[in-house]
Amino acid sequence: MNKRHDDMVIDLGYLVKFLKNNIVSLIIWTILGFVLSLGVVFVFVEPKYSSNVDILVNQKTNNAQVQYATQQADLQAINTYKDVLTKPIILTPVLKEIKRVDNYQGNLSDLAKSIKVTNQTNSQVITVTVTDKNAYVAADVANIIGKVFTRKVKKMMQVDNVTIVSNAKVSTKPVSPNKKIFALAGVVLGLFIGIVIAFIKEFTDKTVKDSSFLTDELGLTNIGSVYHLDINEDDYGAVKVIVEEEISTPRRRRV
């Protein structure tokens, strides 16, 4: 147990030392990842905007006993209405109208993909959310869907229980891309790349940086350290080496 604990301490110590030695490189890569992620968001990713219209499914009745049964019937009919909202019978006239009003360039498939229909549990309100690269087009599509649906469903279902309770409004705040998520992803990716590069450099570097590597890692005996090289051009390039002895051996002076 003690041996494993010592190994763990040594590994953690090496890791801390490794991170300290490469802290500047890691910071640079982190900043670079942050800047590049924001550059991608602002230059290459087109922002999208969304607007939503709320449609209420509710039959009016003055009979309290019938009201509950009618409400349950409306709740069951909501799934049918949600399905109808994304069908060509609704989207075809919507596409024709939005092309006329806003010169919409998409087709029926593009229009269907931009629409999301949601409904809270036990709620009689259906929310139609439209997402587009143009905030004004998104609001117009949502409002046209609401108008076409309320008109069509009365003829198809022979009911008069669908009304628009909240029209879509133009929102100039983009819903995508999420700049915070992109920035965080850039920071994490930049830091990861910096760590990987630092580890690659560390494990491919065969340079002996200190004597502890020879004694601890290779099990060799350190007999001395060269701490100064004095090159004298007058001695035809001869190198005078001053050695600091680290073992108890008699010194011999060379004449």
At 204-241, the pLDDT tens digits run 766 666 666 666 666 666 666 666 555 555 555 555 54
Min mean pLDDT across 30-34, 73-77, 164-168, 182-186 is at 73-77
- CA contacts within 13 A on the Cβ side of 248: 0
Average pLDDT score, the chain: 78
Are 114 and 101 in contact, with CB atoms under 8 Å apart?
Answer: no
Percent of the chain with pLDDT over 90: 31
Prediction pTM value? 0.62
H helices of the chain, in order, are 2-21, 23-43, 64-85, 88-102, 108-113, 135-157, 179-204, 211-212
The CATH homologous superfamily for domain 49-166 is: EIF_2_alpha (3.30.70.1130)
pLDDT over 70, % of the chain: 68
Q: Which amino acid is at 15?
A: L
Higher per-residue pLDDT: 9 or 66 = 66
| Window from 12-21, 103-112, 180-189, 238-247 with minimum mean pLDDT | 238-247
Outline which parts of the chain fall under CATH 3.30.70.1130.
49-166
How far apart are the C-alpha atoms of 247 and 196, rounded to whole Å?
Answer: 40
Residue 115 backbone dihedrals phi, psi, to 5 degrees:
-110, 135
Q: Tell me the mean pLDDT in the region 121-150.
A: 91
- pLDDT for 12 equals 75
Residues 6+ apart with CB under 8 A from 41: 177, 179, 182, 183
